[in-house]
Amino acid sequence: MPADEKPIASVWTRPRRGREQLSREQIVTQAVQLLDADGLESLSMRKLGTRLDAGATSLYRHVANKDELIELVVDEVYGELEIPAADTADAADWRTPAARSAYSLRAMILRHPWVASVLGQVGLIHLGPNVTKMSERMTAVYRAAGFPSDETGHAMKTVISYVIGMATSEAAYLSLIARSGKSEREFTESLHSGDEQHQQTEDPEKARDDTFDYGLRRVLDGLQARLDEIPGNTAQ
């Protein structure tokens, strides 16, 4: 490395501090709780320090700034994902682990709606252990399905993009309902209160699930069609 070129600083490459009253794990746990309760706009080192009963100086011993803190909390919630192992012996059933991975990602975003707005800010240079593990396991599912090596990443990202897009919209909708103080059914019915022809018969949560599932199946149908075009693909 040239003498005038400095390595890019990252929270993942910084040595951890020794025994201290405040740990990185405590900081991340409280930061996630703060974000879940009040949203991304509420996150500041000062507010987090108050929750931890510690000064901002103590936090800066573990994270250099808010951007590094976001890297940590995003990696933390990615650790909640359940990504099935790729079954190389049954490549034809690739859709099952792919769908389960998609459902798990959607559920995580709905639990932590703030994460959708910061996904583009992390993982571009330094990947945390949970994000790396998730990406590797999910990539393995599409590789085992029979996608060519130069298409595996594209196939995975196509599904992830669909999930993030849908879940982000859902999260915004649910946040709006939460601010209204109504249940989802009450909110939905209030939208049609003046429509005499409208009858609320379907559970709104089930309606959202069905809409997501329909779109996911169509995306997987498209990827399956691509697999069927590949000569000699054993998953056909």
Output the average pLDDT for the chain. Answer: 84
Residue corresponding to tokens 């405040």? 22
Is the pLDDT at 187 greater than 50? The verdict is: yes
Residues making up the chain, counted from first to last: 236
Over the stretch 188-220, which tens digit does the pLDDT of each residue have?
Answer: 888 876 555 555 567 889 999 999 999 999 999
- Asked whether the beta carbons of 140 and 133 are under 8 A apart, the reply is no
Q: What is the DSSP string of 132-144?
A: HHHHHHHHHHHHH
Q: Which residues of 7-18 are buried (b: 16+ CB within 10 A; e: fewer)?
A: eeeebeeeeeee
Is the pLDDT at 135 greater than 60? The verdict is: yes
User: What 8-state DSSP symbol labels residue 117?
Assistant: G
More confident residue, 201 or 182: 182
Average pLDDT over every residue of 112-119: 85
Residue 60's pLDDT is what? 83
**How far is 46 from 43, CA to CA, in rounded Å?**
8
Is the pLDDT at 123 greater than 60? The verdict is: no
User: What 8-state DSSP symbol labels residue 195?
Assistant: -
- pLDDT bin (cut points 50, 70, 90) of residue 231 is confident
